Amino acid sequence: MRMKVFDFKSVFLSVFSLFVLAGCVKSTNTPSITPGTTTIAGMVKLAGNLTLLDSAMSKAGLLPTLDSAGPYTLFAPVNIAFTNAGFSDSTFYKDSVGYLKRWILYHILAGYGKTVAILGTEIKSPNFPVVSASGDTMFLTLDSAGLFVNGNLVTQTDIIAKNGVIQALSGVLIPPFYGNIYQTIKALSVSSDTTLTYLVAALDRASASTTYTNLDTLLSSASLFTILAPTNAAFQSFGDTSISQVQNANPDTLARILQCHLMNGRVFSSDFPQAGSLVSIAGDSLAFSFGPTVRSPGDSTPAAIIGVNRLSTNGVIHKVNQILNY
């Protein structure tokens, strides 16, 4: 069941009367928007399920911007999206204003008030690139399941404001702050996500392989990849009880195992088949199922995909709770 951000039954009812569901029929003509009476900033303040977004926007100094004429489209993460991603009021006040500003601007399209119907005339392919107000690119998909932004589902569509449109979002969008996949994993491992320290050690050790492609170089290249990134606990369950054990492992064996975790292209969680397979760069069949979970040929049980859609300049990072074994 999709959680509603706005559920006012009286004063603001007219503001929200123009919802267009994500499964609407695409039109060859650009639909028009009837403006609401409250600005985007005002509506965010009124919504009980957008309090964390309001706090982040306030710290970033962006409330006056979203009070201005616009028009804008705001992809608005609901509170649970921030909580699931590990963010809170206290987190925002530890971040620099510059960092927060780029982050929140990544959720905004400036100069456009885009309903789903309008987006339907513009999205030409899955993961269609659109430049956000931060200057970073987001990727939009519109299909029978709904509208997705970087793999995150829009859970309430077309909330019409005086100066644009709000689309409520199930996940937080994070621009590629740290660069490519390798740089992102390495930076996260020493800052906000210490569950990836074993993976950094494994990638570095595997890059000493004389049989397989250097993975550090591969994941630092301009080519697009998606990595199913095993956490520290995944390595430990596999038998690597310390980082030093990973650092002294056979580099060829490590490289081959890690290849099973890599797919070509930019694959968001919205691209995972509900009951089907994708292929690793080594040709391993990776069977996905609802959950989401993924199972490789050498696994007795599927791995849970526990963190999704972290964007880098050359692909996407998803975390898994066990090693995928070829």
pLDDT in tens, 22-79: 333 233 333 444 557 899 999 999 999 999 999 999 999 999 999 999 899 999 999 9
Domain termination site, one of 144, 169, 194: 169
Domain identity same for 118 and 33: yes
Q: Looking at the domain assignment, is residue 31 inside a domain?
A: yes
Beta bridge mates, 300: none
Domain identity same for 162 and 251: no
Domain identity same for 162 and 189: no
Domain identity same for 248 and 316: yes
| Residue 308 φ/ψ, nearest 5 degrees | -125, 155
User: DSSP assignment of 249-267, as one string?
Assistant: S-HHHHHHHHHTTEEES--
pLDDT score of 34: 52
Report, as an integer, the average pLDDT of 300-316: 96
Give the structural domain span for 310: 181-320
Domain identity same for 157 and 235: no
Domain identity same for 66 and 124: yes
Q: How many domains does the chain have?
A: 2
Q: Looking at the domain assignment, is residue 326 inside a domain?
A: no
Domain termination site, one of 149, 169, 189: 169
| Residue 146 φ/ψ, nearest 5 degrees | 135, -165
**Sheet-wide strand order for 152-161:** 108-110, 72-77, 164-169, 152-161, 146-149, 137-143, 128-131
Domain identity same for 225 and 134: no
pTM for the structure as a whole: 0.89
| CATH code, domain carrying 140 | 2.30.180.10
Q: Looking at the domain assignment, is residue 3 inside a domain?
A: no
pLDDT band at 4, cuts 50/70/90? low
Domain termination site, one of 169, 201, 231: 169
